[in-house]
Amino acid sequence: MNQEPLPAALAAYAGAGEQDAPYELLAEREDGTVVRCGEIVAKAHAGDSDREGLAVRMRIAADEALAGVLLAPLRPEVGYLGGRPVSLWPYGAPVDPERPEDAPWEAAGRLLAALHQVPVHRLPGPVPPMRGPAKLARALRRLARATAPGRSAGAAAAGFAGAAGPVGVPAATGAAGSGGAAGSRTGSALVPSPAEGRPAGDLVRAAARTLPAWVRGEAPAPRGGALCHGDLHLGQLVRGPGPDGGWRLIDVDDLGIGTPAWDLARPAAWYAAGLLDTGTWVRFLDSYRAAGGPAAGPAGSDPWPELDLAARALTVQTAALALAKSVENHRRLDDLERLMVDSCARIATLPPDLEPQAPS
């Protein structure tokens, strides 16, 4: 690759070699750079991507079994740019961050339910494992690097007293007693904690130690499961092209076979921490169940026996990344990030979960 910046090179790639093609930078992170060039979106995946796994994931996204669920790539083959894997996609309108009241929670539930019911044996393969546990492991490694004793005077001084602070554990927020379809939220985030004043990094690591080794990416996951997205959040939904303009899931980097509860874990963790209101959680959960989703039990039952482990994992992952970024950028946690660390303080009081959880 020449010396031009990666976003410009990606725009030229998407524009079939038009070096001056206008583009919009949609994302630039360590795990990928994404640009829009007209109605084409080009993504340069992480340099350390599992290339064979990504090639299979691209073919799965293009398979007709996923039509209406995943946004199909413009071509199923992976290209390369300066040694980085590159994929091309049609542009889809994302969720409007300025209108959270319009967030498509019901559509997200239906899409996940459909994804989890796809016959895996009919897909191009071999289907790789879902990368949820690998992402948790990466977040914990990043936290360890950011807080290593000799990293820098700034990080040591932060010691989680400046950037993350000793964490006090307030009472859990939200409607803890919500029954019915939402369950009672008797999961880990509501367990009282004696952790007042402990460094935040210690709390996150202690919470991680309550999780089974496979959840932390340190052992093979239980065999079997369903096709999972692996990194579900509202930024992973766009309006598909075409006359119907329906919602589609995007980003197949973490797609694979795994425990389907993982795909419900982020909204479950937010609900348990008080970041997602009961009404929104019920709408999401009910739409997933009504569409036949297998990961949360039947309608009217308590979903937490199936969701608690994955929700704890996503809480730890979110808190670990928040703390690492706060130290790296020499800033304090914001209120939402602090709530996730507070949830880790409560998780840390639980006994270790040593047994693998069978996939739903």
What is the domain range of residue 169? 132-222+259-347
Residues 174 and 303 in one domain: yes
Residues 198 and 313 in one domain: yes
Here the tokens at position 156 are 């040591």
Question: Closest Cα to residue 254, out of 103, 44, 45, 106?
Answer: 45
Q: What is the mean pLDDT of the chain?
A: 84
Least confident of 94-98, 142-146, 203-207: 94-98
The CATH number of residue 77's host domain is 3.30.200.20
pLDDT the model gives residue 191: 36
Q: Is the pLDDT of residue 31 over 90?
A: no
In a shared domain, residues 317 and 263: yes
Alpha-carbon gap, residue 313 to 208, rounded angstroms: 7
Same domain? For 272 and 323 the reply is yes
Q: Where on the phi/psi map is residue 159: left (φ > 0), alpha (ψ -120 to 50), or beta?
A: left
Same-domain check for residues 15 and 71: yes
Packing angle, helices 200-209 and 335-347, rounded to 10: 50
Q: Which helix (H) or strand (E) holds 289?
A: helix 278-290
Q: What is the mean pLDDT of residues 8-16?
A: 85
The string of pLDDT tens digits covering residues 271-283 is 999 999 999 999 9
Q: Are residues 150 and 63 in the same domain?
A: no
Q: Is 228 among the domain residues?
A: no
**Which residue, of 63, 91, 119, is where some domain finishes?**
91
312-350 confidence digits (pLDDT tens): 999 999 999 999 999 999 999 999 999 999 999 999 999
Residues 332 and 202 reside in one and the same domain: yes
- Indicate whether 30 and 151 sit together in one domain: no
Same domain, 79 and 137: no
How far is Cα 160 from Cα 349, in angstroms, rounded to an integer?
Answer: 20
Question: Could you say which of 36, 63, 91 is where a domain stops?
Answer: 91
Asked which of 65, 91, 117 is the last residue of a domain, the reply is 91
What is the domain count for the chain? Answer: 2
pLDDT value of position 223 = 86
- Are residues 292 and 201 part of one domain? yes
Residue 233 pLDDT > 80, yes or no?
A: yes
Q: Are residues 83 and 163 in the same domain?
A: no
104 within some domain = no
86-118 residue pLDDT tens = 999 999 999 998 888 889 999 999 999 999 999
- Would you place residue 358 in the very low, low, confident or very high pLDDT band (cuts 50, 70, 90)? very low
| CB atoms near residue 214 (< 10 Å) | 15
User: Based on C-alpha coordinates, what's the Rg of the chain?
Assistant: 21
| CB atoms near residue 105 (< 10 Å) | 22
CA distance 238 to 1: 31
Same structural domain for residues 74 and 11?
yes
